[in-house]
Amino acid sequence: MANVNRVRNGGFEQSTPPGVGPFWSPIGTAITETTDELLGANNANLQASGDSISQPLLPLQVGENYTFQAAFSTPATDGTIDVDITGQPTRSFQAANVISGQYAFYNFDFTATTANSTLTITNSTVTSAAVKIDVVSVKLA
């Protein structure tokens, strides 16, 4: 059986820039764009601190282990990129440790505690530097 990505439009290829949909909902000035993508033609850009994108994940199996993975890039030297999944503690990636000008993959494992979860990625940089995102996935570990 294929290991299905529980994130829909994780590469933002179904999005029509500057919109983030389908499936993703923006907060603030979050957009998609056709520059600086890692794979495909589009990437998401959380342009300022407080911007976020979120979507309901395809159903998870409670008790199963999953891996969140995404490629991030930011020139920020302070603050965090925060990843929230319903029922899980917030995972924060220190912006100063995230590569700038290129992408690097960041991931973590978690055990599903609820079948219907929402994924939210938030730019929490102090200097309001843009956060670029591409190739987002949640799959069975």
For the chain, give the mean pLDDT.
96
For residues 101-109, average pLDDT: 94
Residue 70 lies in a domain: yes
Residue 30 lies in a domain: no
Residue 10 lies in a domain: no
Residue 77 lies in a domain: yes
Question: Residue 69 sits in a domain of what CATH number?
Answer: 2.60.120
User: For residue 139, what pLDDT is reported?
Assistant: 99
pTM: 0.96
As a residue count, the chain comes to: 141
Residue 111 lies in a domain: yes
Residue 62 lies in a domain: yes
**Is pLDDT of 2 > 90?**
no
Residue 141 lies in a domain: no
Angle, CA 102 vertex, CA 39 and CA 52 arms, to 5°: 75
**Is pLDDT of 101 > 90?**
no
**Is pLDDT of 99 > 90?**
no
Residue 112 lies in a domain: yes
pLDDT-derived band at 1 (thresholds 50, 70, 90) equals low
pLDDT-derived band at 92 (thresholds 50, 70, 90) equals very high
Number of domains in the chain: 1
Three-class secondary structure assignment of 55-89: EECCCCCCCCEEEEEEEEECCCCCCEEEEEECCCC
